[in-house]
């Protein structure tokens, strides 16, 4: 699986969250008592961190200063498994500090002005781009996307590698030919100030079409906050993707989550339309979960999930519960693992602190699928699944349904692909009996083992 490369301006974000129950005696401003600090990657570094939640390796090409914030940012990225390719920064590492209370921001302090990379694109950065399955350009208007060597390399790349460009009004225009550009509504308006003002869907679509022509992009998706996104590509009708209803939440980082999800989908071979649909869903879930402010970069439960193999499913469950984490399980045959399987597994892992995969053994697959299945023996199917970064343990079961293994593991969440309805899941009542929940996840349409077999048969000489 080729890595996802994120290129752009990295920041260090810091939240100081405290209690407010009084005003300052010398000014009508709130007093924030006992603020607790939490640092996390920001800008392009946040996009890389979010992309690294799945099984795909992630490389971040950016420019970081030789200062305290830069070193702290490097440590956070290393803990998250993101490979950092540092071009060197002219000036101080950008840092944004939010003063917050009860989940709401009172004030933001910004440090570090614009400052591009020290030199041209390094050989290491060029090698990373050449090996990428997809590239996400995360522009925060601090100079990297204006560097001529960077633009030249990206212009050479767009014809053979999917490039998603998340633009910034103070940054450079996308290089011609990018697969998808993802401005939000305010950014799209800033980029098209020369156009007559438009309102509603017609206005968003008009600006998107103007940017599509101006940037010579294959597609432009304008994100519209709680309304979702509008995609224009070619001369066809716009694709309007409504967002799931979210009550509350924090939109901080939603644009980065959208762009990272879209780039990951394209790296997996998805269509631009599939990428936008998936990204809207993922971004809405991210906002509902508390946005960037709710990210936990180093918890006991995360340490349990990251522990090396070999460990049994029961050991992972026990250790995760001891750390106060949430156990997620899913199941299936996983014969000829394909992109649809991987996407569902990645989505399932994001629901909790560990993922247990329950796999039908060879005998049960034959009963369910026919005498010619499975094509891949159970030992190999288990080995492939264990190699995915989003999977923490794999266990075999021999029954036609997974009720027995579920009763032994008792996960908090049982997740299946969206070709099921919750009411139709035979395991739903069992999982509910110990207080768990059965959920369905979006399934990547058009991917199935049966289709792979049919296509292989058709092509056989």
The reply to whether 424 belongs to the active site is: no
438: exposed, middle or buried (C-beta count within 10 Å: 0-12, 13-18, 19+)? Answer: buried
Question: Coil, helix or strand for 92?
Answer: coil
Contact 388, 344 (CB under 8 A): no
CB atoms within 10 A of CB 261: 29
Sign of CA dihedral 224, 108, 43, 153: positive
Question: Coil, helix or strand for 411?
Answer: coil
Contact 319, 327 (CB under 8 A): no
Cα–Cα nearest to 275, from 221, 311, 324, 313 = 221
Structural tokens at position 186: 């305010």
- Strand segments, DSSP code E, in 10-93 are 10-19, 33-43, 58-62, 82-86
C-alpha 458/C-alpha 48 separation (Å) is: 39
32: exposed, middle or buried (C-beta count within 10 Å: 0-12, 13-18, 19+)? Answer: middle
Among candidate residues 15, 166, 173, 256, the one labeled active-site is: 256
Structural tokens at position 308: 């090396």
Q: Strand 229-232 to strand 220-223: parallel, antiparallel, or no bridges (unpaired)?
A: antiparallel
C-alpha 169/C-alpha 183 separation (Å) is: 9
Length of the chain: 461
Question: Coil, helix or strand for 445?
Answer: coil
Structural tokens at position 372: 């010619």
C-alpha 64/C-alpha 397 separation (Å) is: 49
Q: Which residues contact 115 (CB under 8 A, 6 or more apart)?
A: 63, 65, 89, 90, 91, 92, 142, 143
Q: Which residues contact 321 (CB under 8 A, 6 or more apart)?
A: 327
Q: Catalytic amino acids?
A: 256
């Amino acid at each position: 699986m080729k890595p996802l490369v994120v290129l752009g301006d990295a920041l260090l974000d810091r939240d100081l969250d405290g209690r407010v129950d009084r005003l300052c005696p010398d000014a009508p401003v709130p007093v924030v008592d006992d603020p607790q600090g939490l640092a996390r990657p920001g800008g392009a570094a946040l996009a890389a961190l979010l992309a690294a939640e799945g099984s795909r390796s992630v490389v971040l090409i950016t420019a970081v200063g030789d200062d305290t914030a830069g070193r702290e940012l490097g440590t956070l990225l290393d803990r998250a498994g993101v490979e950092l390719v540092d071009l060197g920064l002219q000036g101080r590492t950008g840092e944004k500090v939010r003063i917050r209370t009860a989940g709401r921001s009172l004030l933001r302090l910004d440090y570090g002005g614009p400052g591009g990379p020290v030199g041209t694109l390094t050989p290491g950065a060029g090698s990373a781009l050449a090996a990428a399955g997809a590239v996400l350009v995360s522009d925060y208007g601090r100079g990297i996307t204006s560097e001529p060597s960077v633009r030249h390399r990206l212009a050479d790349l767009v014809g053979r590698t999917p490039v998603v460009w998340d633009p910034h009004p103070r940054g450079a225009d996308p290089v011609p030919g990018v697969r998808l550009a993802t401005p939000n509504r305010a950014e799209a308006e800033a980029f098209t100030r020369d156009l007559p003002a438009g309102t509603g869907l017609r206005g968003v679509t008009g600006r998107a079409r103007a940017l599509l022509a101006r940037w010579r992009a294959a597609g432009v998706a304008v994100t519209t906050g709680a309304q979702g996104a509008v995609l224009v590509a070619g001369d066809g009708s716009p694709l309007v993707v409504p967002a799931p209803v979210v009550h509350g939440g924090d939109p901080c980082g939603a644009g980065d989550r959208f762009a990272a999800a879209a780039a990951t989908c394209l790296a997996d071979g998805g269509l631009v339309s599939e990428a936008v649909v998936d990204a809207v869903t993922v971004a809405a879930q991210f906002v509902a979960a508390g946005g960037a402010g709710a990210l936990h970069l180093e918890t006991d439960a995360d340490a349990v999930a990251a522990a090396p193999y070999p460990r049994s499913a029961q050991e992972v469950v026990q250790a995760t519960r001891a750390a106060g984490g949430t156990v997620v399980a899913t199941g299936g045959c996983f014969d000829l693992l394909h992109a649809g399987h991987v996407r569902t597994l990645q989505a399932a892992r994001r629901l909790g602190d560990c993922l247990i995969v329950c796999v039908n053994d060879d005998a049960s697959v034959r009963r369910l699928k026919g005498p010619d299945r499975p094509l891949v023996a159970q030992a190999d199917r288990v080995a492939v699944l264990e190699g995915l970064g989003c999977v923490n343990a794999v266990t075999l079961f021999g029954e036609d349904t997974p009720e027995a293994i579920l009763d032994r593991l008792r996960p908090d969440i049982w997740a299946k692909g969206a070709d099921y309805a919750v009411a139709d899941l035979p395991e739903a009542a069992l999982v509910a009996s110990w207080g768990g929940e059965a959920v369905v996840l979006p399934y990547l349409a058009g991917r199935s083992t049966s289709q792979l077999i049919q296509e292989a048969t058709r092509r056989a000489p």
